[in-house]
């Protein structure tokens, strides 16, 4: 009988954001495939867990998959964790999960934090239809993608780095017009912050400061009407 591959969500900042089941599974498995072994070791130390860690990240994943599958097929169980949040969401995971399914290895999710869900629910924008784009292309196809997204009627969510945020906001103002947006920063951490308002005004705020940390941008869909859309709210 093969062992199970558990897909375990871990905190996106606050170490307390981990489920009881995630802790149980991390403790019980034979080994943990971790995108960043140092970050995961900190989490495991915090909770007194001593399971074996195996490095598994975007550049070694193809090379690591056969060995991991072999261990699972021999009956060992494994957890897959990313540096933060849910594995497979703008993080490695898909290839291993696909390969496990093809070999008949049971795959079981242990749900928990993911930055885009936390950002979109706190954005105050409609959540009945969400377009999660992950990271925008850096160069090729970027403008085309932004133009496509500008047509979307669902709430749009993108991951962004602090180094590119000004450029991205400038492009949003140019392509989307003065669309209502929410910049969610450092979610669940000490300096958690939301800047809400028309894109041009959020851009101005961001230009006045040196924005750091992790960012999710939530953009209103093309048909969104806001009653207070012309105000910037900071929190
Ligand atoms: N797997 C992760 C998840 O489930 O959300 C996403 C990993 S992706 C490599 C990292 C990006 O997620 C960051 O650049 C940022 O856009 C977003 N992110 C992760 N943690 C965040 C946080 N605490 N606050 C805001 N954004 C965050």
Q: Domain of 140: which CATH number?
A: 3.30.950.10
Which range marks the domain in which residue 102 is found?
A: 5-110
Statement to judge: residues 84 and 125 lie in one domain: no
Give me the pLDDT at residue 232, please. Answer: 58
Pick from 57, 84, 110: which residue ends a domain?
110
Give me the pLDDT at residue 234, please. Answer: 65
Statement to judge: residues 91 and 163 lie in one domain: no
Statement to judge: residues 66 and 82 lie in one domain: yes
If phi > 0 it is left, if psi is from -120 to 50 it is alpha, else beta; for residue 82 that is beta
User: Closest residue (by CA) to atom 13 of ligand 1?
Assistant: 214
Assess whether the C-beta atom of 230 lies below 6 angstroms from ligand 1: no
Write the pLDDT tens digit of every residue in 21-55.
999 999 999 999 999 999 999 999 999 999 999 99
Statement to judge: residues 69 and 13 lie in one domain: yes
d(CA 111, CA 200): 36
E runs forming strands in 125-173: 130-135, 155-160
CATH number at residue 74: 3.40.1010.10
Give me the pLDDT at residue 81, please. Answer: 98
Write the pLDDT tens digit of every residue in 43-87.
999 999 999 999 999 999 999 999 999 999 999 999 999 999 999
Statement to judge: residues 23 and 68 lie in one domain: yes
Statement to judge: residues 133 and 76 lie in one domain: no
The CB density around residue 22, as the number of other CB atoms within 10 Å, is 23
Write the pLDDT tens digit of every residue in 168-205.
999 999 999 999 999 999 999 999 999 999 999 999 99
**Residue 228 pLDDT grade (very low, low, confident, very high; cuts 50, 70, 90):** low
Residue 230 belongs to some domain of the structure: no
Statement to judge: residues 77 and 90 lie in one domain: yes
Residue 95 belongs to some domain of the structure: yes
Assess whether the C-beta atom of 36 lies below 6 angstroms from ligand 1: no
Assess whether the C-beta atom of 133 lies below 6 angstroms from ligand 1: no
Q: How many domains does the chain have?
A: 2
């Amino acid at each position: 009988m093969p062992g199970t591959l558990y897909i375990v969500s871990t905190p996106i900042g606050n170490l307390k954001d981990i489920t009881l089941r995630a802790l149980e599974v991390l403790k019980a498995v034979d080994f943990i495939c971790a995108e960043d072994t140092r970050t995961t070791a900190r989490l495991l130390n915090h909770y007194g867990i001593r399971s074996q860690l195996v490095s598994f990240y975007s550049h070694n994943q193809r090379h690591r998959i056969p060995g991991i599958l072999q261990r699972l097929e021999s009956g060992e169980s494994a957890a897959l964790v990313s540096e933060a949040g849910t594995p497979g969401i703008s993080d490695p995971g898909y290839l291993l999960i696909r390969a496990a399914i093809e070999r008949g290895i049971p795959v079981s999710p242990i749900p928990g934090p993911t930055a885009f869900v936390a950002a979109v629910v706190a954005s105050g924008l409609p959540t009945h239809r969400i377009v999660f784009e992950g990271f925008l292309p850096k160069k090729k196809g970027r403008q085309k993608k932004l133009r496509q997204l500008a047509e979307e009627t669902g709430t749009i969510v993108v991951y962004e780095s602090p180094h590119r945020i000004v450029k991205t906001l400038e492009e949003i103002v140019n392509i989307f017009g003065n669309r209502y947006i929410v910049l969610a920063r450092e979610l669940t951490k000490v300096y958690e912050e939301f800047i809400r308002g028309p894109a041009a005004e959020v851009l101005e705020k961001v230009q006045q400061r040196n924005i750091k940390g992790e960012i999710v941008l939530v953009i209103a869909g093309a048909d969104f009407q806001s009653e207070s859309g012309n105000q910037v709210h900071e929190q």
